[in-house]
Amino acid sequence: MNPIEIISLEFLILTLVTASVYIVLSPRAQIIWLLGVSYFFYATWSVWYVAVLLVFTTLNHLLAGQIERSRSRILLSIGILINTGSLVSLKFLTGPYGANLVERMGISTLTGILLPVGFSFYVLQVISYLIDVYRGQVEAEKDFLQFALYLAYFPKMLAGPIERAKNFLPQLKHERTVDREIVEQGIYLILLGLLRKVIIANHLSNLLPTDIFSSPEAFTSLERATWLLVFAFILYNDFAGYTSIVRGISFLLGIRLSPNFRQPFLARSFSDFWARWHITLSEWLRDYVFYPVRRGLMQARGSHWIALALPSMVTMLVSGFWHGASLALLFWGFLHGMYLVLEQVLLQFRVLPAAGRKAAFYSVVVFILVTLAWIPFNTPSLRATGRYLSGFLPSYSASFELLVLPDLLLLIFFSLWLDWQEQYHGDLAFPRKWSVARQSWSVAALIVLLVLFSSTGIDLSRFVYEFF
């Protein structure tokens, strides 16, 4: 059986059948139905993935119950060690530096089984769940089926959002309402996601040279700068499109998933950027890495500057490793850690402007530095990162294929226009404030565009963050 991708006829059929049966079932039967659909969806990727998920679900369900009863820090530490250790070791073994070890040990097939698609996302969910149970912030879920659905829920299975138990599980305990307004919001989110993914991200991806990051020396400095900018908009619209689609599908089932993006390229600072980009991961890192490290340093009464710098640096290095066990991604995390530390230092000395032209200029600086950090994010090694960056230094050449510029500029400005509209009208309000006639024409035009773009032969199915 071939994997069912989010953008596919099979997934459309699965969603329609799921929603049609769901609305006629009792609340308890809905839980069972969604769990069955979720495991079926995941099994199309691999039955071994389902086996790994079941093991982690059962283990963490039992651990949470014991932790709640005993309030044992030892049990909590065991749970965190098992989950974190599994993620770290398998990330390393499947990363570029573990490949030789895996080959010598002859376990390449085993690591492929044990690091399923979505593993990085649901492991973070169970770690936060165990910690929250220990802190008394949530009760340990007694219903195994509801806890299993929390981890396996098919709209978020492949690439999040990283849902907290306190946000998701309460929705399973009450009757879920699916009325006209919720359906409208869901359909709007799905269409917006398809627009970002199919029309913006995939078309830009088709224009992006396949070897720009692996062989940057073949491109001029202007080409490298241009394609780096293009990649930033590809990554954003691809992942934002995915999140919007799965949130919309979940709306149709009466379950609200967390938003993951809030116009990040309009950020006014680096901390503001991380409050807008991959929000569920950023909040997870803030609550379970940044705050504990900072509290520990403050309780140790160490240097003020160490307490200021180290939490941000550790948090972003963890983020880099979560994305992949490579030096390039660790360097990406290090860069963002440095950005945040320098920003905190400037805030301490009241150097950063709060408003006006200087604040707008700082926003541009933030965007440029964030964009430069995408180089190690997408290059296969630190050496390739260095080769890419070397093209920006002294020898400037400025040739470029002018025929692609109109497409690039149009799609980038269209992406920014969508962000601007959502910034000022809300992601669920725009364009629902338009007249019925304008909405109808817009939907019709979007459907035509989706059909045209889908017929180009470009592979529309995969999303970038499925592989993290």
More confident residue, 24 or 177: 24
204-230: pLDDT as tens digits: 998 899 888 888 888 888 888 889 999
Residue 71: its pLDDT value, please? 92
Residue 351: its pLDDT value, please? 74
Written as one string, the DSSP assignment of 219-233 is: S-HHHHHHHHHHHHH
Residue 406: its pLDDT value, please? 73
8-34: pLDDT as tens digits: 889 999 999 999 999 999 999 999 999
Segment 42-70 shows an average pLDDT of 94
Q: Does the pLDDT of residue 163 top 90, yes or no? A: yes
How many residues comprise the chain? 468
More confident residue, 422 or 459: 422
203-241 burial, b if ≥16 CB within 10 A, otherwise e? bbbeebeeebbeebeebebebbbbbbbbbbbbbbbbbbb
105-149: pLDDT as tens digits: 555 555 556 568 889 999 999 999 999 999 999 999 999 999 999
Decide: 288 and 131 in contact? Cβ < 8 Å: yes
Q: Does the pLDDT of residue 81 top 90, yes or no? A: yes
Residue 409: its pLDDT value, please? 81
Domain ranges of the chain: 9-176, 181-269+352-454
Average pLDDT over the chain reads 85
Give the C-alpha separation, 308 to 305, whole Å: 5
Q: Does the pLDDT of residue 55 top 90, yes or no? A: yes
User: Strand, helix or coil at 153?
Assistant: coil
Q: Does the pLDDT of residue 400 top 80, yes or no? A: no
